[in-house]
Amino acid sequence: MNYKPKVLIIPSWYPDNQNPIQGIFFKKQAEALNEFLNIAVLNIDMSVKKYLKNNYFLNRNNFYKENNVLTLKNNRFNFGRLINSFNTKLYQKHFDNGFEKIVDQFGKPDLIHAHVSYPAGYGAMFLSQKYDIPFLVSEHASFFESKLIKNYKKNIDKILEKADLYTAVSTFLQKKILKYGRKQCKVIPNFIDCSKFNSEVDKENSDFENTDKFNLLNVSQMRDIKGIDYLISALNKLVFDYNFKNIHLHLVGDGEKIDKYKKMTKKLDINSYCTFYGQISNEKVAEYMTLSDALVISSKIETFGVVGIEAMAAGLPILATKCGGPEDYVEEINGLLVEKESVSSLVEGIKNLINSYSKFNSVEIKKYTNDNYGKESVSKDLIRLYMDLIN
């Protein structure tokens, strides 16, 4: 590829100092694609709270390069959901101003790639129509299941109609988009850097409570949608009803329900079978996966569930509920699927996972993950789509 096409990526949210985790996949994808293409990122941050708290009006535009990716963070004000018509005009103005600044330093892009239909998809559509540039939208969020979509339906309908290409991170989400009215939508999954989950770990100096029991790991936000209460109840039944004393549940993550779940484990008297770690770094997550025996996903809805791919990259088998995204990648070679929102299903699933554990081959699981969800493999698929649109 002699000429490196210029692709402008517009995320709906992006990592910053206050929240280094939000939109981290968008950032990692931009950096991976930049190895093969010329990538720039236009990040329009219209958070009212951030704007007021940080005096963003004093520093609205911030150009920087991180890992060789040119990024413009454009901090702007919006009026919330109550004044959508006015916000639409603001979005147009802010995306246009940011685009002009990008062009000054980067040149006119050959393609615009938006992550999530709104607001990034709306900005991409507006710029596409004004400057005659093809655009695609990648959907990651359970937006099409949310009541919020009613607030933006008029704009969403336009985006679905006008986008040159739509992608979804899972078959589950693809079906939602097609059902909503889009005639075409291709599945392009999230990817990971598999090499980061194959490092040697110093067990002696790790703060992971590595017991001689079966170490079952869950990594998720402590929110209702993640189904942690079902998982804790399942652990209680396993320990006391089925005498599965040789098990320990490791819960990684923070959120609004964490105190409730801690009280729940105390009330059920299973504290000695369960450890809460709170929020930890990505490096720590990889370390904990290496020291665990299996991962469990107990969610009610997951559009993809990248934590499952990360665990598989570490060679772990997975027990996941039939919550959407994991249904694409949990197969006989790497795990089990059970019904969601069901304590009894989780109990039977965990029992089956432990009893059949010897059949899972960590080397085969790692290979499957790298072949299907590795950075190089998925990046090539996405670049092929880019080139089709540009040409």
Whether residue 164 is found in the same domain as residue 47: yes
Note the Cα 150 to chain centre separation in Å.
23
Could you report the per-residue pLDDT of 172-226, keeping only the tens digit for each?
A: 999 999 998 899 999 999 999 999 998 888 887 888 987 789 999 999 999 999 9
Residue 330 and residue 227 in one domain = yes
Residue whose entry in the numeric block shows the structure tokens 């059920």: 268
Name the helix (H) or strand (E) containing 217: strand 214-219
Domain co-membership, 72 together with 200? no
Q: Are 385 and 321 members of one domain?
A: no
pLDDT tens string 22-79: 888 999 999 999 999 999 999 988 664 554 555 444 446 688 898 999 999 877 555 4
Pair type for strands 69-75 and 61-66: antiparallel
Residue 389: in which H helix or E strand, if any? Answer: helix 375-390
Burial of residue 158 (number of CB atoms within 10 Å: 0-12, 13-18, 19+): middle
State the DSSP string of 93-118. Answer: HHHHHHHHHHHHHH---SEEEEESII
Report CA-CA distances (Å) from 134 to 33, 88, 137, 182: 18, 21, 11, 17
Answer yes or no: is 320 within a domain. yes
Q: Which domain holds residue 153?
A: 6-191+374-390
Which of 333, 334, 280 lies closest to 311 in space, CA to CA? 334
140 and 222 part of one domain? no
Q: Are residues 31 and 179 in the same domain?
A: yes
Judge if 27 and 171 occupy the same domain. Answer: yes
For the chain, the domain total comes to: 2
Q: Name the nearest CA neighbour of 310 among 337, 338, 281, 289.
A: 289
Q: Are residues 212 and 150 in the same domain?
A: no
Domain CATH for 37: 3.40.50.2000
Write the pLDDT tens digit of every residue in 78-108: 545 444 555 678 888 889 999 999 999 999 9
